[in-house]
Structure 1
Amino acid sequence: MATSGFLTHIYAPLPRVKCSECGVKTVEIPWATKGSGFTLLFEAWAVQLAQEMTVLAASRELRISDDRLWRLLRRTVDRAMANQDLSRVRSVAIDETSWRKGHKYVTFVFDYDTKKLIFGVEGKGSDTLKKFAEHLESHGGQVQRIVEFCCDMSPAFIKGIGENFPKASITFDKFHVIKAANEALNKVRVRESKETPELKGTRWAFMKREGNLTDREKESLKKVSLSKKRLQTGKAYRLKTILQEILDAGSTLTLSDARGQLKGWCRWALTCRIPEMKEVAMMIKRHMDGILRWFHSRMTNGLLEGYNSVLRAGRGMARGFRTSVNVILKSLLTAGKLDFGFPQNVWNQL
């Protein structure tokens, strides 16, 4: 602590009492957690700093080693997670993200209704869903009560949900569908740009929505569309744009109309003689029901995409500690909205 600008250390041994049943015990004090070595006020300050800056910078501010701070944070988060109540969880969004080169992934699960991160685990296989189911059951939740999942079209996720959450319907994130169409479009553009100089430097223009294009980008796309070479890139761009309009229609389309339009789009893509767009059409046909589920659930992984910057910051703040445990820990600190149980005033708790 600091007194009048001077660092002050106060040393006081805790009294020990003797009980006929329990033996000799050290008296528990209200301003510190047993075995912590820090006061509750200090722990609360440490957690707040670690949420806002790197652990290394926070440790310097707190004048303790970063390794000791990581232990404090892990103990605090573990305590908050142990008291986690998941009894009201009904709809979840799940996604994997890479945290290190070499196919190192962690899977995050968000409660879709409360918009908070409730679980994180290393890997991205179907076993991650089994681990989440176990975590859910051990914190008051029930797998039978989970009725909606939102995820990408990962076979591992589909398998894991089917094996562990029998009553859950799956909504495939529509942004992943558009992403697949954009990737296919770019492959077509790259292939044709070798013989068509007009296509060079137009990647981001083709990725944008028409309403977001600058005048220069509109002119570039106009040149491509009016080209006498009958470029497949122009046709692929129209396919992507119409697919986006179908999936963005929202309440203006009924489920039946959306199914008809999506089937019509698939027929067009399968006969367009563009192999890259054919692959997208086959993917959509395989996952048609899950993609159309959006018109009922209105669930997207936009929630996770919105937290991506937060989670990326969490991964960045875990640099120097090459373990998935610290990556998950930092992400829970920043996006978990955890209740750490710190009193507002440990000196006056009335």
Structure 2
Amino acid sequence: MRGASVWAQLLGVEKTLVDSVEFDEDEQVIVACVRPRKAERGRCGVCRRRCAGYDAGEGPRRWRALDLGTVQAFIEADAPRVSCPDHGVVVAAVPWARHGAGHTRHFDDTVAWLAVACSKTAVSTLMRIAWRTVGSIVKRVCAEVDQVVDRFAGLRRIGIDEISYKKGHKYLTVVVDHDTGRLVWASPGRDKVTMSRFFRALGQERCRAITHVSADGAAWIADVVRDWCPRAVLCADPFHVVAWAGEALDEVRRAAWNDARRAAGNDRRTTTGGRTIKLSRGDAKKLKGARWALWKNPEDLSDKQQAKLAWIAKTDPRLYRAYLLKEGLRHVFTLKGEAGIQALRHWLSWAQRSRLPSFVALGRKIKKHRATIYAALEEGMSNALIESTNTKIRVITRTAYGFKDPHALIALAMLALGGYRPALPGR
């Protein structure tokens, strides 16, 4: 194999002629002077269409290549400009790098793979680049994947949710495919405009193919889904519905704690459920520390928390009734199907008679979303998969700390969770 061919393999360049390789004593780097083969010259950098030449550009430029051992390597070549009918005057395409990049394709692919698999410090230190540069590279690689991969192919059942990615109420809307478990779309924002952007990208024909959509009770999701996918079954997420019961229970707990605190400071008596109960100064403290005993599932309670729950049953029947209502609603979603629907009807009647304002209001809220909750019980769908994806995105968010552009975070999440991770060059 000739020396030029060996250098082409070492530098990871294809369809390229290597004219010379020198070691720059001043900068302590290897510089390879190259030029594209004849068939690759005179092409638009954006669409790679053959175009008429425009000028010689600003002279030779360099692209960072993968290190050769411990020495940095660069590719140097002319960068003429061409006149494209569609994109105007642009720098001509080169076979070893993406348009607008300052690094070779192999360098970009290696950085993208490391960004998915390694920590921020490891990527920056190993590749000797700034973390902000990693964000730009990840966006380039993800954009190229989107050009060759149809992420929306075969979508039938999807889950939609939002996740916070930065302080100041900054959210991403994410869409997951229930059948493959892949993240298929994400965008900054959580409103109807953002949601409509996804369905517009999906197209009317594929919107008609959507059969099921799982989501929480947010109106900005439900209204847009009904507009774009009128035939799709909208399923409420059981986790969010039970979380509503947890919030209602917490309201009762705070009210009970305030009653106990006031009673302990006055005559140490309070009326609960039609009877008078004696309270000591320690009761307020016990109620304040009872939050986890009330929130956790019965099978997960520790011995201490079980004792706390038994004490609440004797001391405050109102709070214990709220706890039973929360557990009753959770039991509805363990039954599913027709049994779950019947159990939910009984639960709504129980909540209406509970004389607990927060649960009476919850009953009205559940009636408002009754159709989507029934659908979730019948179809057995939930947002458990998308909540798992959100947890992974939170980990990626911590890794991507320092990316000012949320699209760099989205690109990293798509590469990690979209099912199309970049491959290491030559593997």
Q: Scaled by the length of structure 1, what TM-score is found?
A: 0.86
Match of 1:62 among 122, 127, 141: 127
State how 1:239-250 maps to structure 2 within 5 Å.
239-250=325-336
- What SS does the corresponding residue of 1:79 show, helix, strand or coil? helix
AA aligned to 2:201 is H
Distance of 1:330 and 1:16 partners within structure 2: 33
Match of 1:221 among 309, 323, 345: 309
- What SS does the corresponding residue of 1:108 show, helix, strand or coil? strand
Alignment partner, residue 303 of structure 1: 385
Q: Kindly indicate whether the alpha-carbon contact (under 8 Å) linking 1:148 and 1:170 is maintained by their aligned counterparts in 2.
A: yes
Q: Kindly indicate whether the alpha-carbon contact (under 8 Å) linking 1:129 and 1:164 is maintained by their aligned counterparts in 2.
A: no
Residue 136 of structure 2 corresponds to residue 48 of structure 1: no
Match of 2:412 among 322, 330, 345: 330
Distance of 2:367 and 2:252 partners within structure 1: 21
- What SS does the corresponding residue of 1:226 show, helix, strand or coil? helix
Alignment partner, residue 317 of structure 1: 399
Residue 30 of structure 2 corresponds to residue 9 of structure 1: yes
Residue 279 of structure 2 corresponds to residue 258 of structure 1: no
Residue 189 of structure 2 corresponds to residue 107 of structure 1: no
Distance of 1:180 and 1:11 partners within structure 2: 64
Q: Kindly indicate whether the alpha-carbon contact (under 8 Å) linking 1:53 and 1:317 is maintained by their aligned counterparts in 2.
A: no
Which runs of 5 or more structure 2 residues have no equivalent in the other structure? 1-9, 12-27, 43-49, 54-79, 81-91, 261-282
CA root-mean-square deviation: 2.5
Distance of 2:35 and 2:102 partners within structure 1: 12
Q: Kindly indicate whether the alpha-carbon contact (under 8 Å) linking 1:317 and 1:330 is maintained by their aligned counterparts in 2.
A: no
Q: How many residues align?
A: 331
Q: Kindly indicate whether the alpha-carbon contact (under 8 Å) linking 2:237 and 2:381 is maintained by their aligned counterparts in 1.
A: yes
Q: Deviations over 1:121-169 (max 9, x none)?
A: 111112222111122239xx71100111000000111111011112111
Alignment partner, residue 200 of structure 2: 134
Deviates more, 1:259-268 or 1:87-96: 259-268
Distance of 1:37 and 1:326 partners within structure 2: 17
Which runs of 5 or more structure 1 residues have no equivalent in the other structure? none
Deviates more, 1:144-153 or 1:327-336: 327-336
Alignment partner, residue 187 of structure 1: 251
Identify if the C-alpha distance between structure 1 residues 99 and 33 changes in structure 2 by more than 3 Å, giving closer, same or farther: closer
Q: Kindly indicate whether the alpha-carbon contact (under 8 Å) linking 2:183 and 2:389 is maintained by their aligned counterparts in 1.
A: no
Q: Kindly indicate whether the alpha-carbon contact (under 8 Å) linking 2:135 and 2:403 is maintained by their aligned counterparts in 1.
A: no
Q: Kindly indicate whether the alpha-carbon contact (under 8 Å) linking 1:81 and 1:338 is maintained by their aligned counterparts in 2.
A: no
Q: Deviations over 1:221-267 (max 9, x none)?
A: 0011012xx432100000111111111114xxx42x32222111111
Q: Kindly indicate whether the alpha-carbon contact (under 8 Å) linking 1:93 and 1:111 is maintained by their aligned counterparts in 2.
A: yes
Q: CA deviation at 1:120?
A: 0.6
**Structure of greater Rg:** 2
Q: Scaled by the length of structure 2, what TM-score is found?
A: 0.71
Q: What fraction of aligned residue pairs are identical, expressed as a percent?
A: 27
Q: Kindly indicate whether the alpha-carbon contact (under 8 Å) linking 1:16 and 1:27 is maintained by their aligned counterparts in 2.
A: no
Q: Kindly indicate whether the alpha-carbon contact (under 8 Å) linking 1:311 and 1:334 is maintained by their aligned counterparts in 2.
A: no
- What SS does the corresponding residue of 1:153 show, helix, strand or coil? coil
Distance of 1:325 and 1:343 partners within structure 2: 23
Alignment partner, residue 203 of structure 1: 291
Distance of 2:424 and 2:93 partners within structure 1: 20
Alignment partner, residue 153 of structure 2: 87
Distance of 1:339 and 1:49 partners within structure 2: 10
